[in-house]
Chain A
């Protein structure tokens, strides 16, 4: 298996623009997580899905952030409008039942 696949690996955008990050979990995994990593705050859980249903989105910082999982093999994290403070590395991870989480390589987002 290719592991968790995230795209793009790097994204540079201007403040105010919409940004969409994509994730393809490992086939057969039924839980998907979106994390944000910054120097200041470390690794933060933004939202997680179980069987494509959002279970806990309490980590989503504000209404500018939204996440969807239309099917078991795809999820998006959207920021609209983006701001410089959204600059971070965004990780997607997936898991099957009670196993450990497998992480993608991350998307490095820079908002200028």
Chain B
């Protein structure tokens, strides 16, 4: 079946630190992969996506590369800001409709 596993949080970093949030997936076919971000009190927003192997999604300084050989889609950012504090969800979509979300990783960035 399909599933997404991401590292447990919370992750606490100082401003300007390097961020990695690990995400691995299990899929029976060729999924599209996504990172969503949820700020306090809000719904999920798409952060970036990749639709095929070796694609790199990037947005707002965040990036993730679709690695089929390791079934991973790790989220990285070179220098985090306090405003990046949020919960980050890794997700996959295999067929045309259904999304599978990871459990979410809370990021706290301290000034």
Residue of B nearest to A31 (CB): B97
B43 contacts A97, CB within 8 Å? no
Give the residue name and chain of the A residue nearest to B32 (CB).
A98
Within 8 A of B (CB), among A81-105: 91, 93, 95, 97-98, 100-105
- Of A33, A43, A56, chain B has the most CB atoms within 10 Å of the CB of A43
Task: Give the Cβ gap from B98 to chain A, nearest Cβ, in Å.
Answer: 7
With both beta carbons as reference points, the residue of chain A lying nearest to B103 in the complex is identified as A42
Enumerate A62-112 residues with CB–CB distance to B below 8 Å.
Answer: 91, 93, 95, 97-98, 100-106
B45 touches A48 (CB 8 A): no
Q: How far is the CA of A105 from the CA of B44 in the complex (A)?
A: 8
The 0/1 profile, CB within 8 Å of B marked 1, for residues 46-61 of chain A is 0010100001100000
Give the interface centre of A42, A95, A104 by most chain B CB atoms within 10 Å: A42
Q: Are B98 and A43 closer than 8 Å at their CB atoms?
A: no
Contact residues of B: prevailing secondary structure:
strand
Instruction: Kindly report which residue of chain B lies nearest to residue A3, judged by CB atoms.
Output: B43
Residues of B in contact (CB 8 Å), total 20
- Given the complex of chains A and B, what is the CA–CA distance between A33 and B44 in angstroms? 13
User: Contact between B44 and A103 (Cβ–Cβ < 8 Å)?
Assistant: yes
The reply to whether A43 and B45 contact each other, CB–CB distance below 8 Å, is: no
Which of A42, A48, A98, A105 is B43 in contact with, Cβ under 8 Å? A105
Most buried by B among A100, A102, A104, A105: A100
Contacts of A4 in B (CB 8 A): 43
Query: In the complex, what residues of A have CB within 8 A of residue B49's CB?
Result: 100
- Interface assignment of A45: CB less than 8 Å from any CB of chain B: yes
Judging by beta carbons under 8 Å apart, are B96 and A98 in contact? yes
Name 15 interchain pairs, CB-CB below 8 A, sorted by A.
Answer: A33-B99, A42-B104, A43-B103, A45-B98, A48-B97, A50-B97, A56-B98, A95-B97, A100-B46, A101-B44, A101-B46, A102-B46, A103-B45, A105-B42, A106-B43
